[in-house]
Structure 1
Amino acid sequence: MIKTLAKSIREYKLASVLAAVFMVGEVLMEVLVTFMMAKMIDEGFSSNDLGYVIQIGAGMLIMAAAGLVCGLLSGRYAAVASGGLAKNLRKDIFYNIQEFSFQNIDKFSTASLVTRLTTDITNVQMAYMMIIRLLVRSPIMIVFSLVMAFMLSAKLSLIFVILVPVLAFLLFVIIKSAHGYFVKLFKKYDHLNSVVQENLTGIRTVKAYIRESHEIGKFEKTSKRILDLSKSAEKRLILTTPCMFAMVFICIMYFCYTGANMIVSETLTTGALMSLITYSIQILSSLMMASMVLVMCVMAKASGERIAEVLDEKSSLTNQAQPDFDIPDGSIVFDHVSFAYSDGENKEILKDINLNIKSGETVGIIGGTGSAKTTLVQLIPRLYDVTGGKLLIGGKDVRTYDLKTLRDSVSMVLQKNVLFSGTISSNLRWGNKEASQEEIEHAAQLAQADEFVSKFPKKYETVLDQGGTNVSGGQKQRLCIARALLKKPKILILDDSTSAVDTKTDALIRKAFAEEIPDTTKLIIAQRISSVEHADKILVMQDGCICDIGTHEELLRTSHVYQEVYESQQKGGIGDE
């Protein structure tokens, strides 16, 4: 984990080193000021030597100023280094996610990825700042103070040999007991983010069904669990403060009693005793400070492991050493294709699929929920890889093609239509960032979107809200189809992408496809038979298999499943998904 996270420090290594170096300087100045204080008391005040007092005082003032400068510089460089680490971690995670296949994405929930990019990285950032400052300061302060304390009185300083290990052991036990609660806490944060994200995304549905109180209850239940876990962790961590103060008081009482006797017997000076008390506070408070850093590190460890898990995740889809950049045409062949979502999973979603689609053909796909229609088409642009058999495009195995080239040749309009905040033009240019205004308008005309876009005051410069919430479902679908057409693909896949448009518009879209892009292979998943009845062939899927294949007329004669769907829709039924 540490090795993975450390790779993101990169250009901030120098700032990290300088933060630690200046922190050493600050500690050195503090220790020397305390030592000089003893000399001032013993050699200046005791002999009423005002000149010596002024001389030592001036030196202490210079040391304090130097320590202040070192502390400020250490803080500045620590802030730069920790902020830079956080920036690089977010960048590295985000970039890595962009390379994920659907299989990789399935492994992490969206809410979990958001938590890792926000809360977890903030925890690591704070821990790193503490490490390069306080975790450097504390051990050095302890070592320097111990050396100076033994120089002043080895007899009195022996108390540290007993108390420091005892306090260290107590702090270790307390911190270790709190770690498990932090691990559970971050998992609950994932769940809380999921609840909030789901509620805000579906807020219209929540209001439509008057489910506000139910959603509030879910939120409160998760928040209460987070509060309980936080309390449990804090109840343990709060014990560190009384432990530290107990050790400090023991030290002070020991120094006061034994030191007073030594002063009376003239084996210890008053200044040395004052400095020893100061050193005891510095040593034990530094140990306490180190424990607080370790507490933050315990929290950050759980976060760091979650971050490293995403950074170490490699895409399950990669290019070959010498990928093919030439896709001859849009022909598709499924050769005994099987597919399971997990490598070790016995249950196959697709089973022994054999299918031959010629370039330019229109293929309809009908089937009930769970029949694996979407899974079938997702294999074509390699959103998933087949787990058995071969899938050929243009006569070549899809795994031999360069991924970017393959996906540029396949336009896919997914079931869930997604538009991004920005203008209509900028959304459509996702299909082709170099597209001219004429090309944008032509694609919109083919998708039957130009008619309603032209009615907007700003037409194609109309700004869409995030998710395209200021357009209807049917309008959103047509814009997504236009975006796909701008890629000028060899293969066009519509995954139930006209379900929200009326039958007339649906027919106009299909007519435009037939006339304007006859050489493009078109695969249309639909609920309505009317959307696919004019296709060159129609697949009827059931339980991950193609149970029937043929034209509309052929299937009406031979396919019992197709007949049932057709009759239910003719009688006004909604049909299967």
Structure 2
Amino acid sequence: MIEMLKHLKPYRTKLIFVLVFSLAAILFELYLPTLMADIVDVGIVNQDVPFILRTGALMLFCSFMAIVLMVGVSYFASKVSLGFGRDMRRKIFVHVEHFSLQEYEKFGSASLITRTTNDVKVVQDVINMMQRMMTRAPLMLVGGVLLAVSRDRYLSLIFLAALPVLALVIFVVARKAIPLFSSLQKKTDRLTLILREALTGIRVVRAFNRVDYEKNRFNIANEDFRDTGIKVGKLMAFMFPIMLIIMNFTNIAIVWFGAIRIEQGDMQVGNLLAFIQYAAMILMSLIMLSMAFIMIPRAQVSAKRLNEVLMTKPLIKDPINEEFAEDEAGLIEFNSVIFRYEGAEKPVLEDISFVAKPGETTAIIGSTGAGKSTLLQLIPRFYDVESGSITIDGVNIQNMLQSTLRGKIGYVPQKATLFSGTIAENMRYGNDQAGEGEIREALKTAQALDFVEKREKGMHSKLEQAGSNLSGGQKQRLSIARSLVRKPKIYLFDDSFSALDYQTDRKLRDALKQETASATILIVAQRVNTVKNAEKIIVLNDGKIAGIGTHTELLNDNTIYQEIVASQQNGEVGA
């Protein structure tokens, strides 16, 4: 939690205002019982009406000032807490955007969403409460005790019995609350994960008639969350009646023993009334502190989760001094590259060496799990190699800024990803300066212009989240068009033609060859028809290169490639 408070430095001035206003408001409030005692002991006893009116007017002024100052406290406290929440969400989002895929996979999208929204909100609310209560309550407690003692030090001994009991209740509840709050946040993550999976995978759920299964899975997580929440609620429900009982018995003791002291002539009625007021302030400040102490454990759990994200350093970093290529043609070279995922015993890719030249298409083919997509993801540095190197135009990609490196690349992922907005806005994701003519040309090359123009508003038609109002082939073609709008030196197609029929696949590849004649093209594909016209085909098997050559060369002397071709021909015959 202390780490989180460091992020409040930009709001130091407002925090000072909160502290000063709180102190001033409390001084006015603490003065009110003294004025009331004077009215009773001086004004009423002596029947001095002018004194009563003057003192009453002063009480009204003090009350008004206390109200105005507390409004100021609320205003500045809200500005600080809401500003903190805004800044923290921005920091987490920006920090996560710099994560490599390894860090992203470590947390998971559901947990990152919960941390950015729910956990930030919890800490924000506690910061707001701390400004209002944690500044007000200690000052009121100290001031109330001092003034109560000044009124009657013997009657103040009652607090020696009440305060330890209150402190014990707060300690016991806080000790039980911390693990429950930690568990509650984890169950929030689980609930978010299940809900997200059910909503994003709704087509699969319905296709396999698993609606009831998903309902049951959600209900189990939901009820688990509810049960933990009820336990927390029971703790709160137990705490406040106990504290009210202690407060009421304290007031009874004060009135009881105060009456005895008045009877003995050791205390005046006004003093007893003032003492009761100070006692109420002391006990109220303790209740405010207890509320803060109950909320702080939950905020500590949330703050810890936020710090875990912020303290996670991306494994992939930019170099201190960037190197630049003399000739930016897009030549890619793999030199004895080895890569393994974190925690894996065996490398996914081993001893990978090849050259992909500008103006040529280099295709990568192999069985499922051979490492084809992983190889492609190493080029834009989604992951870093374990050993060996990857160079572009003779410069190691680790010596380039990530923005510079990725600016050279047009990447089309295996799973087409589109964003909510218009088709044109999605196209400009690759190049925000692209005009409608450029977008139209890219759509035409990607064989997407026909279906785009059939929509009511053409390229200005709206897309739903993740392009859910498009077919798989349409999404793939728009993803390809988006990379074409960028006009990069290097194109990476990660099985980006799998949802296309053979005729569209052929037309698209022919159009691409003309559009990207001078660029370096790497294609990952499962289908032989997609890669057979490539100038170079790399056959991957179990993370190693099993052969490099043209379609004809590999068909003549590469057993693995022959098996792939034979299996696809047999599949087509069978179909």
**Structure 2-normalised TM-score?**
0.96
Change (3 A) 1:147 1:219: same
- Distance in 1 (CA, whole Å) between partners of 2:493 and 2:356 is 16
Verify the 8 A CA contact 1:334 1:353 in the aligned structure 2.
yes
Counterpart for residue 77 of structure 1: 76
Question: 1:137-171, CA deviations, whole angstroms, 9 ceiling, x for partnerless residues?
Answer: 11111001001100000111122234223312320
Q: What SS is found at the alignment partner of 1:486?
A: helix
Counterpart for residue 354 of structure 1: 353
Counterpart for residue 331 of structure 2: 331
- Distance in 2 (CA, whole Å) between partners of 1:121 and 1:523 is 42
Q: Does 1:498 align with 2:531?
A: no
Counterpart for residue 377 of structure 2: 378
Letter in 2 for 1:208: A
Counterpart for residue 126 of structure 1: 125
Question: 1:359-413, CA deviations, whole angstroms, 9 ceiling, x for partnerless residues?
Answer: 3321111222222211111110111111111111111211111211110111110
Q: What SS is found at the alignment partner of 2:571?
A: coil
Verify the 8 A CA contact 2:123 2:299 in the aligned structure 1.
yes
Letter in 1 for 2:183: K
- Distance in 1 (CA, whole Å) between partners of 2:310 and 2:168 is 34
Q: What SS is found at the alignment partner of 1:314?
A: coil
Counterpart for residue 175 of structure 1: 174
What are the residue-to-residue correspondences of 1:304-323 with 2, within 5 Å? Answer: 304-323=303-322
Shift of 1:7: 4.7
Shift of 1:346: 3.8
Moved more, 39-48 or 75-84: 39-48
Counterpart for residue 462 of structure 1: 461
What are the residue-to-residue correspondences of 1:136-215 with 2, within 5 Å? Answer: 136-215=135-214
RMSD of aligned Cα (Å): 1.8
Shift of 1:573: 5.7
Question: 1:31-84, CA deviations, whole angstroms, 9 ceiling, x for partnerless residues?
Answer: 111221122111122222222222211111111111111111111111111111
Counterpart for residue 225 of structure 1: 224
Q: Does 1:86 align with 2:81?
A: no
What are the residue-to-residue correspondences of 1:427-442 with 2, within 5 Å? Answer: 427-442=426-441
What are the residue-to-residue correspondences of 1:37-76 with 2, within 5 Å? Answer: 37-76=36-75
- Distance in 2 (CA, whole Å) between partners of 1:405 and 1:571 is 45
- Distance in 2 (CA, whole Å) between partners of 1:339 and 1:186 is 35
Counterpart for residue 418 of structure 1: 417
Counterpart for residue 401 of structure 1: 400
Question: 1:7-40, CA deviations, whole angstroms, 9 ceiling, x for partnerless residues?
Answer: 5435433223222322222222221112211221
- Distance in 2 (CA, whole Å) between partners of 1:55 and 1:557 is 111
What are the residue-to-residue correspondences of 1:456-535 with 2, within 5 Å? Answer: 456-535=455-534
Moved more, 110-119 or 366-375: 366-375
Letter in 2 for 1:349: V
Verify the 8 A CA contact 2:120 2:302 in the aligned structure 1.
yes
Letter in 2 for 1:551: T
Q: What SS is found at the alignment partner of 2:212?
A: helix
Moved more, 299-308 or 249-258: 249-258
Letter in 2 for 1:96: H
Letter in 1 for 2:336: H
- Distance in 2 (CA, whole Å) between partners of 1:572 and 1:439 is 40
- Distance in 2 (CA, whole Å) between partners of 1:296 and 1:269 is 41
Verify the 8 A CA contact 1:175 1:237 in the aligned structure 2.
no
Overall identity of the aligned pairs, in %? 39
Counterpart for residue 26 of structure 1: 25
- Distance in 1 (CA, whole Å) between partners of 2:264 and 2:5 is 56
Question: 1:472-515, CA deviations, whole angstroms, 9 ceiling, x for partnerless residues?
Answer: 11111011101111221221111111111111111111112222
Moved more, 378-387 or 156-165: 156-165
Shift of 1:325: 4.2
Verify the 8 A CA contact 1:361 1:536 in the aligned structure 2.
yes
Moved more, 534-543 or 426-435: 534-543
Shift of 1:256: 2.3
Q: What SS is found at the alignment partner of 2:316?
A: coil
Shift of 1:454: 2.2
Counterpart for residue 244 of structure 1: 243
- Distance in 1 (CA, whole Å) between partners of 2:43 and 2:345 is 86
Verify the 8 A CA contact 1:409 1:487 in the aligned structure 2.
no
Question: 1:321-348, CA deviations, whole angstroms, 9 ceiling, x for partnerless residues?
Answer: 2212446222222111111222x65432
Gaps of 5+ in 2: none
Change (3 A) 1:347 1:287: farther
Q: What SS is found at the alignment partner of 1:571?
A: helix
Moved more, 536-545 or 135-144: 536-545
Q: What SS is found at the alignment partner of 2:486?
A: coil
Verify the 8 A CA contact 1:178 1:237 in the aligned structure 2.
no
Letter in 2 for 1:163: A
Counterpart for residue 111 of structure 1: 110
Letter in 2 for 1:420: F
Verify the 8 A CA contact 1:533 1:552 in the aligned structure 2.
yes
Change (3 A) 1:61 1:380: same
Moved more, 373-382 or 252-261: 252-261
Counterpart for residue 567 of structure 1: 566
Verify the 8 A CA contact 1:446 1:512 in the aligned structure 2.
yes
Verify the 8 A CA contact 1:244 1:285 in the aligned structure 2.
no
- Distance in 1 (CA, whole Å) between partners of 2:523 and 2:6 is 45
Verify the 8 A CA contact 1:93 1:310 in the aligned structure 2.
yes
Gaps of 5+ in 1: none
Q: Does 1:296 align with 2:284?
A: no
Letter in 2 for 1:271: G
Change (3 A) 1:10 1:462: farther
Verify the 8 A CA contact 2:324 2:395 in the aligned structure 1.
no
Letter in 2 for 1:340: R
